């Protein structure tokens, strides 16, 4: 794929841990985290207090003492075992590290350096991301960042790199042999999976089947340009692992048409039009509970398809002004990202220049039906994973995934099911559930620790804090992840977020100096 990389301009890489001012502590030969209440990611109810014993980067034991019902290992065997570090976390809650199943490393147009998004992810307890496509930074950069993260050389989540089908070997393959050869090359160069937007049907079917044969993951955003020929049901029949966003699902449930009834002025390259009428497809498909609706969901379930809805990335369509004014933008949105969000015909996802009430009403209705589909699929036993797609449409890394949890809750999932979607279900989708995704002995020590119970209020996971008032009536903020443990390395999550705030301030000052230098012709240091 290297021959196409000259067209990429990767973002500045993350500095080495040794040069970073928040390198984290550990992994230790043995560390004990005491007094925790566990939400283990499987859907089981909380239990505690327990002690977690972590050896190197692995959970060695979950110890519970003095409880009438024992759901963890007995502590007696560990009574005389020494530890290199003991943290008293009495009263805190521990969850598996979150998995963002639809993520993109920031580009030069979105952030100054890659660790901007890495630290926001880790600062929100995200310990694994599925990087879907490496579309702007290029696969070579993404694969190298994934390697550096795996070797614990940088402060970053574990990165599972997918490559965009067709990138790196010229145009998208149009034939079956070309498609298979392309997928084979992707596997040889270290891709964990392939992300599709669409392709000629025979080529796409061949690519999906070759990817399955090679053990690669697959994901698809069924773009409007190809969905008339290949919808989400067709690709799932060919072995697609996950359907991203909402594209292709409504189209699979048409009963009186084969294509969406687009308006005469529709132009796919005009995103204001594209997203403005996007909601209409949900009004043109089968109704919940109808024969077609049930048949599609039942077949998707039988095929083992996973839904990654990314509700949060489109939520501005329901209320653009509210999303534009989200509380965290002031401190956490880099000036590059702020500029990228500004309505423009040239920046993807920046289409809100004339967004109106009619579009927002249509999208509110679309969300009701879309959420009903995800809820019905989930209640049938289908796997739903949490993904954010942050970096677009006013969504900031880390914050976007927490908002996705809130929207999965709105869709009808129980908080325990929401947490499972963001942990074990994501690990199952990525094929790493034997390694991470739940709190069990033998699994990687990927954890997030928070002072209060997030099942009671998911907003406690937001990095800018959750607003309350004291008994005296004074407002204050609480919440935010306290500690993130990535493969046994303990990070102060608040410090990571403070690093991002400082980075944002520095970038704003630097850009202000550039503007001033341009005005008076001098260079300021």
pLDDT bucket at 171, cuts 50 / 70 / 90 = low
Residues 6+ apart with CB under 8 A from 198: 204, 220, 222, 223, 225, 226, 227, 229, 230
pLDDT bucket at 222, cuts 50 / 70 / 90 = very high
Average pLDDT score over residue span 47-53: 95
Whether residue 520 has pLDDT greater than 60 = no
pLDDT bucket at 21, cuts 50 / 70 / 90 = confident
Q: What is the pLDDT of residue 312?
A: 97
Whether residue 51 has pLDDT greater than 50 = yes
d(C-alpha 420, C-alpha 206), whole Å: 32
Whether residue 152 has pLDDT greater than 60 = yes
pLDDT bucket at 512, cuts 50 / 70 / 90 = confident
**Contact, 103 vs 388, CB < 8 A?**
yes
> Which of 33-42, 64-73, 98-107, 189-198 has the weakest average pLDDT?
64-73
Going by DSSP bridges, is the β-strand pair 47-55/31-38 parallel, antiparallel, or unpaired? antiparallel
pLDDT bucket at 66, cuts 50 / 70 / 90 = low
**Contact, 371 vs 434, CB < 8 A?**
no
Residues 6+ apart with CB under 8 A from 378: 384, 412, 413, 417
Q: What is the pLDDT of residue 67?
A: 64
Q: What is the pLDDT of residue 12?
A: 87
pLDDT bucket at 6, cuts 50 / 70 / 90 = very low
Q: What is the pLDDT of residue 3?
A: 36
Cα separation values, 63 from 91, 441, 489, Å: 15, 10, 20
d(C-alpha 228, C-alpha 242), whole Å: 19
pLDDT, tens digit, 9 for 90 and up, residues 185-201: 999 999 999 999 999 99
SS3 491: strand
Q: What is the pLDDT of residue 43?
A: 97
pLDDT, tens digit, 9 for 90 and up, residues 118-149: 999 999 999 999 999 888 899 999 999 999 99
Cα separation values, 401 from 111, 197, 318, 390, 491, Å: 18, 22, 18, 8, 19
Percentage of the chain lying above the pLDDT 70 cut: 92
Average pLDDT score over the chain: 92
Bridge partner residues of 87 (DSSP): 33
The residue with greater pLDDT, 181 or 81, is: 181
Whether residue 106 has pLDDT greater than 70 = yes
Q: Which two tokens stand for residue 356?
A: 């109106």
């Amino acid at each position: 794929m290297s021959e196409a990389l000259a067209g990429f301009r990767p973002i500045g890489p993350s500095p080495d841990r040794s040069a970073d001012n928040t390198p984290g502590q550990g992994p230790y030969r043995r560390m004990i985290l005491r007094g925790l209440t566990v939400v283990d990611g499987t859907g089981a109810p909380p239990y505690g207090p327990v002690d977690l014993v972590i050896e190197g980067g692995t959970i060695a034991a979950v110890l519970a003492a003095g409880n009438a019902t024992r759901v963890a290992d007995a502590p007696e065997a560990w009574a005389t075992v020494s530890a290199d570090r003991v943290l008293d976390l009495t009263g805190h809650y521990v969850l598996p590290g979150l998995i963002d199943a639809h993520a993109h490393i920031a580009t030069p147009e979105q952030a100054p350096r890659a660790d901007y998004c890495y630290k926001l992810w880790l600062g929100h307890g995200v310990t694994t991301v599925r990087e879907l496509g490496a579309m702007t930074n290029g696969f070579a950069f993404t694969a190298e960042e994934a390697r550096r993260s795996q070797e614990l050389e940088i402060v970053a989540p574990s990165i599972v790199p997918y490559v965009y089908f067709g990138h790196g070997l010229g145009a998208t393959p149009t034939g079956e042999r070309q498609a298979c050869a392309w997928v084979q090359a992707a596997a040889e160069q270290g891709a964990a999976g392939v992300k599709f937007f669409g392709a000629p049907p025979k080529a796409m079917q061949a690519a999906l089947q070759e990817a399955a044969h090679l053990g690669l993951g697959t994901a698809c955003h069924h773009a409007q340009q190809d969905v008339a020929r290949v919808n989400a049901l067709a690709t799932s029949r060919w072995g697609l692992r996950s359907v991203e966003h909402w594209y292709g699902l409504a189209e699979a449930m048409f009963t009186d048409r084969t294509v969406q009834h687009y308006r005469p002025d529709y132009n796919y390259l005009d995103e204001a039009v594209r997203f403005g009428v996007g909601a209409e497809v949900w009004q043109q498909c089968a109704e919940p509970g109808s024969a077609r609706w049930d048949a599609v969901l039942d077949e998707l379930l039988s095929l083992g398809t996973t839904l990654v809805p990314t509700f949060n990335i489109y939520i501005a369509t329901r209320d653009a002004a509210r999303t534009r004014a989200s509380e965290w933008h002031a401190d956490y949105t880099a000036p590059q990202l702020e500029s990228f969000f500004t309505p423009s015909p040239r920046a993807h996802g920046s289409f809100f220049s004339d967004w109106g009430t009619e579009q927002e009403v249509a999208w509110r209705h679309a969300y009701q039906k879309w959420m009903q589909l995800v809820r019905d699929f989930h209640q049938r036993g289908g796997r739903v994973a949490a993904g954010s797609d942050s970096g677009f449409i006013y969504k900031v890394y880390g914050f976007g995934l927490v908002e996705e949890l809130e929207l999965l809750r709105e869709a009808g999932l129980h908080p325990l099911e929401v947490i499972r979607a963001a942990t074990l279900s994501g690990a199952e989708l990525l094929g790493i559930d034997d390694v991470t995704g739940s709190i069990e002995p033998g699994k990687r020590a990927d954890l997030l620790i928070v002072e209060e119970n997030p099942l009671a209020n998911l907003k406690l996971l937001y990095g800018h804090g959750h607003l309350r008032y004291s008994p005296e009536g004074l407002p204050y903020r609480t919440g935010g992840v306290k500690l993130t443990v990535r493969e046994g390395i303990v990070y102060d999550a608040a410090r990571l977020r403070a690093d991002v705030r400082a980075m944002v301030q520095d970038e704003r000052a630097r850009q202000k100096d550039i503007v001033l230098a341009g005005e008076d012709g001098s260079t300021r240091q």
